[in-house]
Amino acid sequence: MTQQRQRTERWTAAVMTISDSCANGSRQDLSGPAVAAELQAAGFETAEPVIVPDEQITIQDAIRAASATAQLVVTTGGTGIGPRDVTPEATAAVCDRMLEGIAELMRAEGRRETPLAVLSRALCGTRGTTIILNLPGSPKGAVSSLRIALPVLPHALEILSGRTEHAAPGEAPAPATEGKVPRV
């Protein structure tokens, strides 16, 4: 693992499960808590996952609200090809820029576990200084995809927060400064 800057604060992450059946109470949300636990193990501070129905405008509003306070917004569910799967469309509508490489990496690595990974339409993008990452809806697929993306997220968050200095070869990176970066 590469050296990372020493932070005086933990990254914050918001987790949302996109699912009609979880939203209406007919199915228990297993993916959101699994994703939150994985993020916490990786050093992120997370609140309880929220559940959002498969409605594009509702998803967009939830992502906007979460990105106002969290540096990372992770969705699980709604990334397939079903008629109600609109998480990628909602994500694209609220992002400033897309990070295609992260979604490509998740699909490529996911294919090692199941050929069905190529059916994922998950996206990753930025909104101001927040990264928004879509994951599959199954707990196993969500955690597996998150583990694939996790190694690049701290560096991406550092860059988005304005910490763009690079250490000379063989030197440790400069410590991060204290304080929060204003939200966009």
Query: Residue 9 has what pLDDT?
Result: 66
| pLDDT tens profile 49-105 | 999 999 999 999 999 999 999 999 999 999 999 999 999 999 999 999 999 999 999
Residue 121 has pLDDT above 50, yes or no: yes
Residue 119 counted as domain residue: yes
Query: Residue 176 has what pLDDT?
Result: 43
The total of structural domains in the chain comes to 1
Residue 1 counted as domain residue: no
> Residue 174: which of 44, 61, 6, 42 has the closest Cα?
6
- What is the spatial distance between Cα 118 and Cα 110, in angstroms, rounded to a whole number? 8
- Residue 174 contacts by C-beta under 8 Å, 6 or more apart in sequence? 5, 165, 167
CATH number of the domain within which 73 lies: 3.40.980.10
Residue 90 counted as domain residue: yes
The count of C-alpha atoms lying within 13 angstroms of the C-alpha of 12, restricted to the half-sphere facing its C-beta, is 16
Residue 169 counted as domain residue: no
Residue 181 counted as domain residue: no
Contact criterion met (CB below 8 Å) for 118 and 111: yes
Share of the chain above pLDDT 70, in %: 85
Q: Give the confidence band of 174 by pLDDT, cuts at 50, 70, 90.
A: very low
CA distances from 155 to 25, 166, 181 (A): 37, 11, 15
Residue 167 has pLDDT above 80, yes or no: no
pTM assigned to the model: 0.86
Q: What is the rounded average pLDDT of the residues 35-60?
A: 97
Q: What is the rounded average pLDDT of the residues 163-170?
A: 67
| pLDDT tens profile 132-159 | 999 999 999 999 999 999 999 999 999 9
> Which tops the pLDDT comparison, 88 or 177?
88
Query: Residue 170 has what pLDDT?
Result: 59
Instruction: Give me the domain span that covers residue 59.
Output: 12-160
Residue 167 counted as domain residue: no
